[in-house]
Amino acid sequence: MLGHHFADQTLLVSAFTHASRAGPKSSYERLEFLGDRVLGLVLTDHLVRHFPHADQGELTKRYHHLSQEAALAQVCQRLGLQTLILHAPLQKGLSERESVQSDIIEAVIAALYLDGGLDVVRQFILTNWTIPEQLPTQAETNPKSELQEWAASEKCELPLYRLVKQTGSAHEPAFKIAVSIKGVGRCTGEGSSHKQAEREAARQFLHRYVHDKKE
């Protein structure tokens, strides 16, 4: 399924263990953090090499299309990895959440990287991600991508995201994220995952400072 035999099986177990089962330190959360960065490195390197004539704006749009939550969840579903998630018995439906599925994929990427190295994880990513030749349309990108592209087009500083507050339990967290662009403004968003809250903050920012200004 993953194309790799793990020497350290504990990495694989951790990659599929939700915080509701083991707590944040023994769950996939730390691996997810690393996996997000490893995925970013592999995708960015591939895009730069595969599209040598693309400018920064095009590369950014392509990258966000491939790394957004829905894209990661789709890979998880295609491989059937959501059926392997270990969580507390009362957390029914948790494995069907796109946010959880995308977290699992990032945790698996980190586990592959730690156990097999960069070549192994690169093979996994490039095998399971479809890199479209055609540039994704605006509708296919997420609010964070749209906001970053707008900031670049307006010669503004890039959006800065900051965690304002985290509440709730380990298995039902709630995040509040603030996004700001120097000289433009600041908005907040809330969600059940860090990424979800970032997207909501970006969506609110676009609504207040970008879309409304056009109307």
Token pair, residue 191, equals: 């969600």
Edge to edge, the sheet with strand 173-181 lists 160-168, 173-181, 185-191
Contact 33, 141 (CB under 8 A): no
Selecting among 106, 115, 146, 200, the annotated active-site residue is 106
Mark 39-71 as b/e (b = at least 16 C-beta within 10 Å): beebbbebbeeeeeeeeeeeebbbbbbbbbbeb
| Residues forming beta bridges with residue 175, ordered by sequence position | 166, 191
**Burial class for 184, CB neighbours closer than 10 Å (0-12, 13-18, 19+):** middle
Selecting among 36, 103, 115, 200, the annotated active-site residue is 36
36 is catalytic: yes
140 is catalytic: no
The catalytic residues are: 36, 106
